[in-house]
Amino acid sequence: MILAHKIALDPNDVQETYFRKAAGVARFAYNWALDQWQQQYDAWKGDPTLRKPSEAALRRQLNALKRDAFPWMLEVTKNAPQMAVIHLGRAFKNFFAGIAEYPTFKKKGRHDSFTLTNDQFTVKGHKVHIPK
């Protein structure tokens, strides 16, 4: 059972900047993974000896190259890119099950968000702590 809690936040300027960065990292990771999925799937169709793309493999690929290729991703919680790729994996699972449309690229300013797992933040009184 997954419980989602919505917390009304009133961030200061620094916190709002952090949230925008985290949402941007999540959007970039999702779009990067979607692009990679499409390229790897096309390559697999041309050569079935190659592996089909998967959510887990894409997360490993992104983790392996983000320090060198995308160091700005390290400025926010690791959950932002990880959960974005997991959400893409779920979107493809729903697509292949016939219950959703093919995943599309995310656009800046349209439902910007990022996800944290329950073990990645703490709430104390009126404060929420999000680690990098």
| Residue 54 · residue 89 · CB < 8 Å | yes
- Please report, in tens digits, the pLDDT of each residue of the chain (132 residues total): 444 556 667 788 988 898 899 999 999 999 999 999 999 999 999 999 999 999 999 999 999 999 999 999 999 989 999 999 999 999 999 999 999 999 999 999 888 888 877 776 777 777 777 766
Number of independent structural domains in the chain: 1
Is the pTM of the predicted complex or chain greater than 0.75?
Answer: yes
In-domain check, residue 8: no
In a domain, residue 3? The reply is no
Q: Classify residue 40: in a domain, yes or no.
A: yes
CB 60 within 8 A of CB 51: no
Q: Does residue 83 belong to any structural domain of this protein? A: yes
Give every CB contact of residue 70 below 8 A, 6+ residues apart in sequence. 28
Domain that holds residue 100: 13-129
Is residue 103 one of the residues assigned to a domain?
yes
**Residues 105, 34 contacting (CB under 8 angstroms):** yes
Query: Is residue 5 one of the residues assigned to a domain?
Result: no
Examine residue 50 and state whether it is found in any structural domain, yes or no: yes
User: Would 17 be classed as within a structural domain?
Assistant: yes
pLDDT value of residue 1? 40
